[in-house]
């Protein structure tokens, strides 16, 4: 597994994908171990998590790093060998630590109580694993599910009256409307992945901490971009997020 870990580190540094091969992680624990080893090698500071689920519907999450955190209006340089996948997402920022507590599982209300703000953002995905043959899930998990960065958009600190599952979502690419629909989250309620991960934390990077961002999954269809242009996202009641892709 060490050679896979090194290949993943090299792919992050060179922005060139590689084939997972037979030495990829073969379990959830191994995948999280690789993720932690890559973070340590890169001296990457965890600033958040992308919450979601494995193919068998087990809650899972991957770290997001300070080096990839940007504010709305940023420029992002495209990697020639890696198309960028931008996803309009709803994210929360925690106001306190949320340690795993099996004896008293967190509820949706607990997560809201621990939320300082709810925001719109772009999660940015670069597939560092070659997709000619789809890699196994644990290989993808070890690669932090492709997370390359997160762009923070506008937010609300008064949010309990907002029905997050039914917000109008609009997404433009270079001025052309790509998405215009209500909702769009695969779970209906975008907070469910955050709740489920809070109750299923088994990462090797310290878990959910005050100030961390939890992004909760795409509201827009998968779109691979290789050319410069402006990306704009808008969520009813939350606001907008904007970024420019460059070469």
Cα–Cα dist 114/176, whole Å? 37
Name the residue among 215, 211, 193, 201 with its Cα closest to residue 96: 211
Cα 140 from chain centroid (whole Å): 13
pLDDT at 126: 96
Q: Which residues contact 10 (CB under 8 A, 6 or more apart)?
A: 18
pTM of this prediction?
0.97
Tell me the three state secondary structure of residue 33. helix
pLDDT in tens, 58-79: 999 999 999 999 999 999 999 9
149-175: average pLDDT:
98
Domains of the chain: total: 1
Residue 146's pLDDT band (boundaries 50, 70, 90)? very high
pLDDT at 132: 87
User: Is the pLDDT confidence value at 27 over 90?
Assistant: yes
Decide if 93 contacts 213 (C-beta within 8 A).
yes
pLDDT at 1: 86
Domain span at residue 30? 2-246
DSSP state of 172: E
Cα–Cα dist 121/141, whole Å? 21
Name the residue among 224, 234, 94, 236 with its Cα closest to residue 177: 234
Please report, for residues 13, 108, 157, 206, 226, the alpha-carbon distance to residue 104 in angstroms, rounded to integers and kept in the order given: 41, 13, 26, 19, 46
pLDDT in tens, 39-57: 999 999 999 999 999 999 9
Average pLDDT, the chain: 97
CATH number at residue 242: 3.90.850.10
């Amino acid at each position: 597994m060490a050679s896979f870990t090194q290949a993943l580190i090299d792919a992050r540094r060179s922005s060139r994908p590689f084939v997972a091969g037979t030495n990829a992680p073969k379990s959830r624990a191994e995948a999280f171990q690789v993720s932690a080893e890559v973070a340590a090698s890169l001296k990457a500071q965890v600033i958040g998590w992308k919450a979601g689920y494995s193919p068998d519907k087990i809650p899972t999450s991957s770290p997001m790093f300070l080096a990839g955190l940007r504010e709305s209006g940023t420029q992002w340089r495209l990697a020639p060998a890696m198309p960028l996948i931008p996803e309009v997402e709803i994210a929360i920022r925690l106001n306190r630590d949320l340690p795993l507590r099996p004896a008293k599982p967190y509820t949706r209300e607990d997560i809201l109580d621990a939320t300082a703000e709810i925001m719109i953002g772009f999660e940015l995905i670069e597939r560092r694993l070659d997709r000619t043959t789809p890699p196994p899930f644990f290989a993808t998990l070890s690669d932090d599910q492709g997370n390359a960065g997160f762009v923070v958009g506008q937010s609300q600190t008064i949010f309990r009256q907002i029905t997050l599952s039914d917000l109008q979502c609009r997404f433009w690419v270079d001025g052309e409307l790509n998405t215009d629909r209500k909702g769009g989250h695969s779970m209906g309620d975008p907070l469910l992945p955050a709740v489920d991960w809070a109750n299923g934390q088994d990462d090797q990077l310290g878990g959910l901490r005050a100030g961390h961002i939890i992004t909760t999954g795409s509201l827009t269809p998968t779109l691979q971009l290789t050319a410069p242009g402006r990306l704009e996202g808008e969520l009813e009641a939350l606001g907008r997020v904007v970024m420019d892709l460059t070469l």
